[in-house]
Structure 1
Amino acid sequence: MRLAFLGTPDFAAASLAEIAAAGHDIVRVYTQPPRPKGRGHEERKTPVHELAETLGLPVETPKSFKDPEVLAEFAALDLDVAVVVAYGQILPQAALDAPRFGCLNLHGSLLPRWRGAAPIQRTIMAGDARTGVQVMQMEAGLDTGPILLSETLRIDPFDTAGSLHDRMMATGAQMWPRALAALERGSLEARPQSEDGVTYAAKITPEEARIDWTRPADELSCHIRGLSPFPGAWFTLDAGGKPVRIKVLNAKAEEGEGVPGTALDDTLLIACSEGAVRLTRLQREGRGAMDAEDFLRGTAIPAGTVLG
C-alpha cells in the first residue's frame, strides 16, 4: 500500500514501526513541529519524527493541515490510504477525501464510548471494566466513523492510565498490518457505530487533579489511577508550616472510617466519605516517584494527619 503516516507521540511511533516492518510504501510522515522541552527549553523532535528519520522516511511538520499548500501537497502524493494515530490536529474534509481509501485512525476505546481527546484516562476514571483499541474510518465528526477492526482489553484493578496506555499501544500497533492487508484485499468490513451509549472523553483539566477526599473510596481510587502518571492527582501536606504538593500515582480502595482526608494508620490509609484509600505509589514535589514503603522512610504521615 502507498500510504502516509500522521502521528506524534510514542503511542503513534509504535504503529509506524509495525507498518514499516510490514513493508508498506510510506511516502510521507506528518508529525507536530519540534517544541521546547525540559529545563533547558531546547526544541525536541517528536517520537514519530525521530523514528521516521531513523527509518529514512521523509517528514513534514506543518503547523496547520488546513493550509492550502499542505493540502495540495498531500493530495499530490497519490495515496492509497493515510494512517492517523494521535496526530494532534483535526484533518479537514479535503484531507480525508484525498487518499483512495480515505484516512484510517487508531482510537483507544470501544466506540461510541469515550469519543474524544482523553479516552484512556477517562475509561479508568469512570471505573470501566474493559476497553479496547479500534481502527476506524475517519469522518468529519469527532470519532464518529465506522469501525473496521477491534480488539478488547480488560482493565485490571491496579491499572493506571500509564500501564493501560502501554498495553493499548502495543495492541494497536499490531493491528495495523492486519488492517492494511485486509484493506488491500478488499475484505475490510465497515461496521457503523451505534448512537446508543455515546460518551465523550474531554481533555483533563488542571482542576481535576487535586484530590477530593470527600468522594467515595472506589471512585477516588479510579480517579487517581486515571490521572497517573500525568498530570498526577495530588494533595498537600503540611511540612513545617509549608504546604508541600505530593502526587499519588497509584491507590486502592479499602475498608476504613473517619473524617475524609485523615490518615487512619501510619501506612497511608486515608479516610474518604465512604471507605478509605491506601496510597501505594507517591511522588513528593521535586523528587522521583516511590512506592509507599520507600516514600514513608523520608516523609512520615502518621495516623491522625490531615491531608490538604
Structure 2
Amino acid sequence: MRVVFAGTPEVSVTALRAIVASSHELVAVVTRPDATAGRGRKLIASPVAQYAEELGIEVLKPVKPSDPEFLARLTEIAPDCCPVVAYGGLLPQAALDIPPHGWINLHFSVLPAWRGAAPVQHSIISGDDVTGASTFRIVKALDAGPVYGVLTEPIGPKDTSGDLLARLAESGAKLLVDTLDGIEAGALVAVEQPADGVTLAPKINVEDAELDFTAPAQRVDRLVRGCNPAPGAWTTFRGERLKVLDVDLTAEDDLKPGELRATKSSVEVGTGSKVLKLATVQPQGKKPMAAADWARGVRITAEDLLGPESKAE
C-alpha cells in the first residue's frame, strides 16, 4: 500500500521508522514548516523532516494543509492511505478525501477518553491507572472518527509524561503498522466511538503548570509528573520562578502548604495533605539540579515559602 506519513515531533519518528521497515511503500511525508530554535533562532526542520530527508523521501511542508499547491501535489502522489502521528495541522475535508483509505491517526489514549493535543499529560494529571493508544480514521470533528485498534498501558506511580509517551510511541508504532496491514487486507472494520466517556485533553500551557501547594500531595505529584518534560511544573521562590521536575511522597504531615524544611540531604515542602520531598528542581536561568544542592545555594530560612506568598529578598 502506498502511504504518505504525516507527523512532526520526535515521537512521530518512532512510527515513521516502523512504517519504513514494513511492507508498505512510503512515498512522501507531510510535516510542519521549519521553525526557529536555539539561541541563534535558526530555522530547524522537524525531526520527521530530518529523518525523511536522510532517506531521500519527498517532504511536504505546507503552511496550511488547505494550501492549493499542497492539495494538488498530494493528489498527484495518489497515496492509498495517510498514517498520522502528532502532525499538528488541521486537515481540511479536501485533504481527507484524497486517499481512498483515509488518514489514519495514532492517538495516545483509549478513545473516546482524552481527545485533544495532550492526552498523555492529562491522563497522568487526572490520576488514571491505565491509558493506551488508538488508531482511528480522521474525520472533521476532533479525534472523533471510527476506531480500528486499541492497546492499553498501565501508568506507574513514578511515570512522567515523557516516560509514558516513550513507551506508547513504541507500542503504538506496531499498532499503526498492524492497522495499515489490516486495512490493506480488508480484514479491519472501524468501529464508531461510544457517545459516553468523552473527555478532552487540550494543550497544557505554562499557566496550567503552576503548582498549588494547598492541594493534596498526590495532586501536586501528578501535576509535576504530567508536566515533565514540558511545559514543566513550576512555583515561585523569593519572587522568581522555580521549576519542580521530580518529587517524592512522604507520610509526614507537619508542614503547612508551601512551608519549606531543608537538611543537608533533603528539601521538603508542605501541601494540603502530606509533606512532599523535592527531588529535582530547576531555578530560573539554570540547569536542573538536586533540590538539596539548590537549597544549600539559596540558604533557605524559616520565613521562606514556595508559591504566590513567597517574597523576593
Unaligned runs of 5+ in 1: none
Partner of 1:200, secondary structure, is coil
The CA deviation at 1:301 is 4.0
One-letter identity of the residue aligned with 1:251: V
Structure 1 residues 146-155 or 42-51, which shifts more?
146-155
Structure 1 residues 163-172 or 103-112, which shifts more?
163-172
Partner of 1:259, secondary structure, is coil
State the 4+ residue runs in structure 1 displaced beyond 6 angstroms: none
Partner of 1:116, secondary structure, is coil
Question: 1:251 is matched with which residue?
Answer: 247
One-letter identity of the residue aligned with 1:168: L
Partner of 2:260, secondary structure, is coil
Question: 1:185 is matched with which residue?
Answer: 185
User: What percent of counterpart residues are identical?
Assistant: 40
Q: Output the CA distance in 1 between the equivalents of 2:30 and 2:39.
A: 27
Question: 1:89 is matched with which residue?
Answer: 89
| 1:1-308 alignment runs, 5 A limit | 1-238=1-238, 243-255=239-251, 256-266=253-263, 267-296=266-295, 298-301=297-300, 305-308=304-307
The CA deviation at 1:123 is 0.8
One-letter identity of the residue aligned with 2:255: G
The CA RMSD over aligned residues, in Å, is: 1.7
One-letter identity of the residue aligned with 1:254: T
Q: Output the CA distance in 1 between the equivalents of 2:175 and 2:291.
A: 37
Q: Output the CA distance in 1 between the equivalents of 2:77 and 2:11.
A: 25
TM-score normalized by structure 1?
Answer: 0.93
8 Å Cα contact 2:209-2:227 kept in structure 1: yes
Q: How many residues align?
A: 304
Partner of 2:212, secondary structure, is coil
The CA deviation at 1:303 is 6.2
Unaligned runs of 5+ in 2: 308-313
The CA deviation at 1:302 is 6.0
One-letter identity of the residue aligned with 1:201: A
The CA deviation at 1:73 is 2.0
Q: Output the CA distance in 1 between the equivalents of 2:215 and 2:229.
A: 21
The CA deviation at 1:290 is 2.7
Partner of 1:191, secondary structure, is coil
Q: Output the CA distance in 2 between the equivalents of 1:301 and 1:189.
A: 61
Q: Output the CA distance in 2 between the equivalents of 1:195 and 1:28.
A: 35
Q: 1:274 to 1:194 in 2, by over 3 A?
A: same
Structure 1 residues 4-13 or 256-265, which shifts more?
256-265
